[in-house]
């Protein structure tokens, strides 16, 4: 018994040390570099700054390229909120139908849902399609791309969670005169709150941190997202590592805050449908 307890302490302590090394050490490195002067930061050393200029770097990053970072935050916020809202609504509907309505089309639909997770995005065909429908280099087109890329993962989560909801609730609502729309939005949707929180947090971080999507499908300074602002401080001629790391620090804070406040809800939503269904 004592030996098992000792082994648990060793495993737990090792996990904590590994977490500190993997997550906290890189964050501390970013924080230190963002507080240094340009010559000091160019050394890329894990040392204390010889001169703390964190506020100067902060204001410089915000003012660079006509306050491009502020505009990028607005673009990323609009992209994240709209695309995640589309994912939640459509994935919840599809997951509910796939779990409750069994028919011959289910295997085919499940195949395409899994294919959305396995098959990598095709950049050139997607650009061609967006150009044909007039949505290339536009925010609505980028919103549809992000929603499409994340839909398969969300459908699987919602489908697993719906399996934990008793069918008797659906039958009782139908007997009370509820139609399909009212049944879903008034009875089923409120019960999906744990997985909705999970989808919102996970997909918000994924969309907010997406670099390749806006790079390919949303070019242009006026459409720049937060990840693309990293190009402002790195080029073939000059590397402003202090400003680059300050930019990284600023765009890391929103996803970090989300995970800190909603980590328990994320785990609950991920594991709710793991036993049943």
Q: Say which CATH number the domain at 212 has.
A: 1.10.3720.10
Q: CA 168, CA 49: separation in Å to the nearest integer?
A: 64
What would the pLDDT profile of 90-144 be if each residue is shown by its tens digit?
A: 999 998 888 888 778 888 888 888 888 887 888 888 999 999 999 998 999 999 9
- Please indicate, yes or no, if residue 10 is contained in any of the structural domains: no
Give the whole-angstrom CA distance, residue 162 versus residue 64.
48
Strand ranges (DSSP E) for the chain? none
Average pLDDT taken over every residue of the chain: 84
φ, ψ for residue 239 (rounded to 5)? -115, 110
What's residue 75's pLDDT? 93
Residue at 62 is within a domain: no
Does 41 fall in a domain?
Answer: no
Alpha helices in 101-211 (DSSP H): 106-118, 123-132, 139-162, 167-175, 180-182, 189-191, 193-208
* Domain membership flag for residue 29: no
Domain contains 15: no
Tell me, yes or no, whether 33 lies in a domain. Answer: no
- Split into its structural domains, the chain has a count of 1
Per-state percent for the chain, helix, strand, coil, to nearest 5: 80, 0, 20
Contact 128, 62 (CB under 8 A): no
Which tokens belong to 262? 């909603």
Report helix angle 106-118 to 54-100, nearest 10: 160
pTM: 0.83
Bridge partners of residue 234, in order along the sequence = 239
């Amino acid at each position: 018994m004592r030996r098992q307890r000792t082994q648990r302490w060793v495993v737990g302590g090792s996990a904590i040390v590994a977490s500190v090394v993997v997550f906290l050490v890189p964050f501390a490195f970013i924080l230190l570099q963002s507080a240094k002067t340009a010559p000091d930061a160019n050394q890329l050393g894990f040392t204390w700054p010889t001169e703390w200029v964190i506020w100067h770097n902060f204001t410089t990053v915000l003012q660079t390229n006509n306050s491009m970072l502020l505009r990028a935050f607005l673009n990323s916020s609009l992209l994240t909120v709209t695309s995640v809202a589309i994912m939640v609504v459509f994935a919840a509907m599809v997951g509910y139908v796939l779990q409750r309505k069994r028919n011959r089309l289910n295997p085919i639909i499940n195949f395409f849902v899994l294919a959305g997770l396995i098959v990598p995005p095709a950049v050139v065909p997607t650009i061609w399609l967006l150009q044909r429908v007039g949505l290339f280099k536009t925010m609505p087109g980028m919103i549809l791309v992000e929603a499409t890329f994340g839909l398969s993962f969300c459908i699987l989560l919602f489908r697993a969670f719906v399996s934990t909801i008793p069918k008797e609730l659906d039958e009782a609502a139908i007997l009370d005169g509820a139609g399909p729309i009212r049944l879903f939005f008034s009875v089923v949707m409120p019960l999906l709150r744990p997985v909705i929180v999970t989808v919102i947090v996970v997909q918000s971080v994924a969309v907010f941190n997406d670099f390749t999507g806006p790079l390919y499908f949303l070019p242009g300074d006026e459409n720049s997202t937060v990840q693309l602002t990293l190009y402002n401080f790195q080029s073939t001629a000059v590397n402003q590592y202090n400003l680059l790391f300050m930019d990284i620090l600023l765009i890391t804070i929103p996803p970090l805050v989300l995970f800190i406040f909603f980590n328990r809800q994320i785990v609950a939503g991920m594991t709710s449908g793991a036993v049943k269904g």
